[in-house]
Chains A and B, each alone.
Chain A
Amino acid sequence: MTTTTPTAHDDEHEAINSEIGGSHELSTWATLKRGLELSPELVRGLWVTVLLALFATLGKVLIPFVVQQATDNGILADGGPDVDFVLRAVLLAAGAIIFTGFAQYVVNVRLFKAAESGLATLRIRAFRHIHDLSVLTQSTERRGGLVARVTNDVDTISMFVQFGGIMLLVSTAQMLVATVLMVIYSPILAGVVYLCVIPLVVLVTKFQPMLGRAYGAVRLRVGDLLGAVSESIVGAVTIRAYGVEERTEARIDGAIERHRAAAIKAQIRSVIAFTSGQAFGGITTAIVLVVGTVLAANDQMTLGQLLAFLFLVNLFTQPVQQATEIFNELQNAVAGWRRVIGVIDTPADVSDPGTDGVRLPRGPITVEFEDIAFSYPGGDRVLQDVNLTFEPRTRIAVVGETGSGKTTLAKLLTRLMDPSEGRVLIDGVDLRDIAFDSLRRRIVMVPQEGFLFDESLMENIRFGRPEAADEDIELAMTELGLDPWLSGLPLGLATQVGQRGESLSAGERQLVAIARAYLADPDLLVLDEATSAVDPATEVRIQRALEGLTRGRTSVAIAHRLSTAEAADVVVVVDRGHIVAVGPHEELVDAGGVYTRMHASWAAQQQG
Chain B
Amino acid sequence: MTSATRPVDRPRPSPAILRQGLRVLWTGIRQQKKVFSVAVGGAALWALATVATAWAIGYVTEHAVTPAVESGEVTSGGLWMIFLVLFGVLLFNMAGVVLRRVAASIAGFNLQALYRRRVTRQYLRLPLSWHHSHPSGQLLSNAHADIEAAWQIFNPLPMAIGVLVMLVIAGTQMVVVDPFLALIGFLVFPGLFAANLVFQRVMSPRITRAQQLRAEVAEVAHESFEAGMLVKAMGREQEETTRFGGVTNDLRNSLINVGRTRGMFEPVIEAIPVLGTLAVLAVGTARVASGDLSAADVVEIAYLFSILAFPVRALGWVLAEIPRSVVGFRRVDSVLQAKGSMEFGEGDLPREGAAHSRSVGVSYAFAEPAERAVLGAEDPLEDPGPSVPVGPQRAMAIRDVTLDVPAGRTVALVGPTGSGKSTLTSLVLRLIDPDSGTVTLDGIDLRSVRKGEVPEVGTLVAQQTFMFDDPVRDNVTLGAELPDDVVWEALRTARADGFVSGMPGALDAVIGERGGNLSGGQRQRIALARAIVRRPRLLVLDDATSAVDPSIEQAILGGLRETGDGMTVLVVAYRMATIQLADHIVYLEQGQVVDQGTHAELLVSCEGYGDLVNAYAREAAERAAVAADEETV
Contacts and interface: CB of A to CB of B under 8 A. Distances in A.
Interface stretch (A114-122, A185-193, A199-207, A424-432): A114-122
A403 B521 contact: yes
B32 interface: no
Interface stretch (A175-183, A389-397, A494-502): A494-502
A71 B277 CA distance: 12
A86 B285 contact: yes
A3 interface: no
Contact of A505 (B422, B513, B590): B422
B383 interface: no
A182 B363 CA distance: 85
Nearest to B222: A147
B97 A267 contact: no
Nearest to A146: B225
Nearest to A66: B278
B239 A466 contact: yes
Given A247-B479, A401-B552, 18 more contacts: A104-B263, A112-B259, A151-B221, A225-B144, A229-B139, A246-B452, A268-B102, A287-B83, A403-B519, A403-B522, A440-B233, A440-B234, A440-B236, A506-B422, A507-B463, A508-B418, A536-B613, A608-B599
A300 to B, nearest CB: 11
22 contacts: A101-B271, A109-B260, A120-B251, A131-B237, A143-B514, A150-B217, A237-B462, A245-B452, A263-B112, A268-B105, A271-B102, A278-B93, A282-B87, A491-B393, A503-B369, A529-B520, A536-B616, A543-B619, A560-B550, A566-B620, A567-B623, A605-B577
B123 interface: yes
A608 B616 CA distance: 13
Interface in B206-235: 214, 217-218, 221-235
A280 to B, nearest CB: 10
Contacts of B278: 67, 90, 93-94
B227 A496 contact: no
B469 to A, nearest CB: 6
A596 interface: no
> Which has the most chain B C-beta neighbours within 10 Å: A67, A107, A491?
A67
B226 A500 contact: yes
Interface stretch (B18-26, B67-75, B402-410, B435-443): B67-75
Interface of B is mostly: helix
B625 interface: no
> Which has the most chain B C-beta neighbours within 10 Å: A113, A567, A605?
A605
B230 A450 contact: yes
A231 B368 CA distance: 25
Interface in A283-301: 283, 285-287, 289-290, 292-294, 296-299
A485 B469 contact: no
Interface string B74-109: 100011001100110110011001100110011001
Given A81-B289, A535-B417, A606 B617 contact: yes
Contacts of A437: 235
Interface of A is mostly: helix
A: contact size bracket: 35 or more
A123 B393 contact: no
B549 A598 contact: yes
B339 interface: no
A447 B230 contact: yes
Contacts of B525: 402
A109 B265 CA distance: 11
Interface in B612-628: 612-613, 615-620, 623
A136 B277 CA distance: 64
A90 B281 contact: yes
B120 A241 contact: no
A108 B266 contact: yes
A454 interface: yes
Interface in A589-608: 597-598, 601-602, 604-608
A248 B518 CA distance: 23
B547 interface: yes
> Which has the most chain A C-beta neighbours within 10 Å: B82, B214, B225?
B225
A449 to B, nearest CB: 6
Contacts of A299: 72
Contact of B263 (A108, A268, A274): A108
A75 B123 contact: no
Interface stretch (B165-173, B185-193, B348-356, B453-461): B453-461
A376 B517 CA distance: 7
Per CB-CB distance, the 5 closest pairs between chain A and chain B, nearest first, are A440-B235, A243-B455, A112-B259, A108-B263, A402-B521
B552 A232 contact: no
Contacts of A23: none
Contacts of B574: 535-536
Nearest to B87: A286
A446 to B, nearest CB: 8
Contacts of A604: 577
B96 to A, nearest CB: 10
Contacts of B270: 101, 104
Contacts of B137: 147
B237 A243 contact: no
